[in-house]
Amino acid sequence: MSKYDIIVLGSGPGGYVTAIRASQLGLKTAVIEKESLGGVCLNWGCIPTKALLKSAQVFEYLKHANDYGLVVKEYDKDFDAVVNRSRNVAQGMSKGVEFLMKKNKIDVIKGFGKLKPGKKVDVDGKEYSADHIIVATGARSRELPNLPQDGKKIIGYREAMTLKKQPKKMIVVGSGAIGVEFAYFYNAMGTEVTVVEYLPNIVPVEDIDISKQLEKSFKKSGIKIMTSAEVTNVDTSGDGVKAIVKTKKGEEVLEADIVLSAVGIKTNIEGIGLEDVGIAVDRDKILVNDYYQTNIPGYYAIGDVTPGQALAHVASAEGILCVEKIAGQHVEALDYGNIPGCTYASPEIASVGLTEKQAKEKGLDIKVGKFPFSASGKASAAGTKDGFVKVIFDAKYGEWLGCHMIGAGVTDMIAEAVLGRKLETTGHEVLKTVHPHPTMSEAVMEAVADAYGEVIHL
What residues are annotated to the active site? 437
Instruction: Label the pairing between strands 120-123 and 388-394.
Output: unpaired
The C-alpha atoms of residue 194 and residue 170 are separated, in whole angstroms, by 6
Provide the edge-to-edge strand list for the sheet that holds 366-372.
341-343, 348-353, 400-407, 388-394, 366-372
> Residues of 307-339 as b/e, b for ≥16 C-beta within 10 angstroms?
ebebbbbbbbbbbbbbbbbbbeeebeebeeeeb
Report helix angle 177-188 to 208-220, nearest 10.
20
DSSP string, 48-63: HHHHHHHHHHHHHHHH
Q: How far apart, in whole angstroms, are the C-alpha atoms of residue 216 and residue 384?
A: 14
Structural element, H or E, at residue 225: strand 224-226
Contact 299, 277 (CB under 8 A): yes
Q: Spell out the residues 6+ positions from residue 105 whose beta carbon is closer than 8 angstroms to its own.
A: 23
Contact 387, 216 (CB under 8 A): no
Which run of H or of E encompasses 340?
Answer: none
Contact criterion met (CB below 8 Å) for 273 and 114: yes
Whole-angstrom distance, CA of residue 26 vs CA of residue 388: 46
Whole-angstrom Cα distance, residue 89 to residue 50? 10
Report the distance separating Cα 379 and Cα 374, nearest Å: 7
Question: Could you count the other beta carbons within 10 Å of the beta carbon of residue 251?
Answer: 10
> Which burial class, exposed, middle or buried, applies to 270 when counting CB atoms under 10 A from its CB (0-12, 13-18, 19+)?
exposed
Bridge partners, 4 (sequence order): 130
Give CA–CA dist 67/74, Å, rounded: 16
